[in-house]
Chain A
Amino acid sequence: MSPRLRLLLQALPALALGYVVVRMLVGDVGGGTTLLDYLSIGVTQGAIYAFVALGYTMVYGIIRLINFAHGEFFMAGAFAGYFVLRDAGIERWALPQPWPVLLAYLAALLAAALVAGTLALVAEAACYRPIRKAGRVAALLTAVGLSLLLQNLARQWPAIGPTQRPWPAPRMWAAADEVPSPADAHYYELKTFTSPTGERVEREKPVVFKGATMTPAVRQRLAAEGGRNVFRKGELSRTVVDRSIVLMLAAAAVGLWFLVQRTRTGKAMRAVSEDMAAARLMGVNVDRVIAATFFLGAFLAGLGGVAYCAKYGQVDPLTGFMPGLKAFIAAVLGGIGSIPGAVVGGLFLGVSENLFAAEVSTEWKDVLAFVLLVVVLLLKPTGLMGRPYREKV
């Protein structure tokens, strides 16, 4: 790389940062949102990337494998969380009921983490362990194959299926004449059908769309349907969701740091990462340590899956694809193999993407991730926080 290009590339981050600071001071981006809002969205989104990036980086750190199926562990976790929330009947609750919702979410997070972790254990034992000595290319291909397999299994599995599902949210009931004008959200009615097989099926039927003006005619129609209650989908307050996600990330990062640096298992992980054979000679059961690493990484991905879907309001078998890809980029940006790197890389990517979306273009947002990847790797091939790797001979 020529020195001039290098200088230019190095100046870019400083320029970008300077610009952002000035824009923060100057104010509105438009539509009442400030750049600060985008910054906070970026932090939340970055925290989710970081959650998923941690798993990528841990698995890479220990066996130098880019586990492309990691996004599917995320998706499996998201679905586990979905079923818990749905079966807890969260949709039939009226807000505000903070405690039951909190409890349901804790249960959903736990289920997500355990399901994703268990899936990772099975995948490791069944797919990765048998080919561990077969070289990196074989492992990479296995990972890609496993990713596709899990996506398609989810699509075929009757309980999941290929369609996108709305994320379960409490219903906020309102009397028909309480709907503000223009309507502040989509409003629904509950209809009960008898299906051809004789089952009673409940379905949500939209009756008023968001932004609709509530003319007397509309109000009359609502009232004519018996004056029954309508509801809108309650969202958990965005600030609550955002703060919980960031808090969860902070807790996970600190916990992980403690585990890796301070515990016996963590020391074994670092030893295996450096020299598997030597770790064995210390009495370390290498297979177990690798399995534990997969489990932990997927455990976090499961949490990330619920967080992501709760934030974006839907889930489907491809849910894990984009966040998985972004998290992989975040992990590489931060320096793959480095735990602080995954956190920094995730936050960096989330914030950059959202500032870019605010200032430049929303459509090109996803391209930015790849551009950033190329620029950072050109400047610092080991990533933002990466130490130069000592390759084993």
Chain B
Amino acid sequence: MLVVEDLVVAYGAVVALHGVSLEAKQGEIVTLIGANGAGKSTTLRAVSGMVAPRRGSVRLDGREVGGVPAHRLVRRGLAHVPEGRRIFTGLSVRENLELGAYTVRGRAEVAARLERVLALFPRLAERIAQSGGTLSGGEQQMLAIGRAMMARPRLLLLDEPSLGLAPLLVREIFREIARINREEGTTILLVEQNAHLALSTAHRGYVLETGRVALADAAPALLESPRVRAAYLGAT
């Protein structure tokens, strides 16, 4: 579904990615782990069109999309929940969700999706008329994911969904992520600081180090890998 090859991305003179290659197959949950500044968010940004790659290729369903502006990729079935959630704080929960379905034509279709997302996140249903800015951090994260799901994406990019959440809520969010993958068949590319949780949820994983892929394997294998255990799982 998604194939990234030799991706180089730079912010001005700062080169953030030095030739990253990775892949996500239909129906998979793939996770990207790595230290701060390793280039995880940059990888997602390059895939979703928020930054243009300097070199290399990003292919979605076999078609090159490197450099295609972000708003066009939404129509091709890609949704990106960016780092820091970026919900619209001045808009109501409902309006946020409706914006998620901006590319979807037809009221009935939007209503059906809204119902589905509210079933996924019942807490959002209780707060549907509240403005996004008044939600708690965890609720905002649910809103960000729910908003992305409104487009019924085939590929969902999630950037640190656990950021700033209490452990109980983190587990709840990850349960929902696994459920979305299972029930909707959505392919998920997941960036996460909590390596243990990410690798327990994902099928496969990549470890990024300073803009390069250092390791790539099935998730259970990475969980057992001494290098990963030492660097990311806090084991001695």
Contacts and interface: CB of A to CB of B under 8 A. Distances in A.
B172 to A, nearest CB: 24
B69 A283 contact: no
Given A283-B71, A285-B71, A278 B86 contact: yes
A287 to B, nearest CB: 9
Interface residues of B, number: 27
Interface stretch (A16-24, A132-140, A249-257, A264-272): A264-272
Interface in B60-98: 69-72, 74-75, 79-80, 82, 86-91, 95, 98
Interface residues of A, number: 18
Contacts, number: 67
Interface string A266-298: 011011001101111111111000000000000
B225 interface: no
B90 A281 contact: no
Nearest to B99: A282
A283 B74 contact: yes
Given A280-B69, A280-B71, A286-B71, A274 B89 contact: yes
A220 B144 CA distance: 86
B50 A277 contact: yes
B110 to A, nearest CB: 10
Looking at chain A's contact residues, the main secondary structure is helix
A278 B144 CA distance: 10
Nearest to A273: B90
A58 to B, nearest CB: 15
B102 interface: yes
B91 A267 contact: yes
B48 interface: yes
A390 B89 contact: yes
B9 interface: no
Contact of B86 (A277, A283, A285): A277
Most chain B CB neighbours (cut-off 10 Å) among A277, A279, A280, A284: A280
A285 B89 CA distance: 20
15 contacts: A264-B98, A264-B102, A268-B99, A270-B90, A275-B86, A278-B82, A279-B99, A281-B70, A281-B74, A281-B79, A283-B75, A284-B99, A284-B102, A390-B89, A390-B133
Interface of A: 264, 267-268, 270-271, 274-275, 277-286, 390
Of all A-B residue pairs in the complex, the 6 with the closest CB atoms, nearest first, are A283-B74, A283-B103, A278-B86, A280-B70, A282-B102, A283-B102
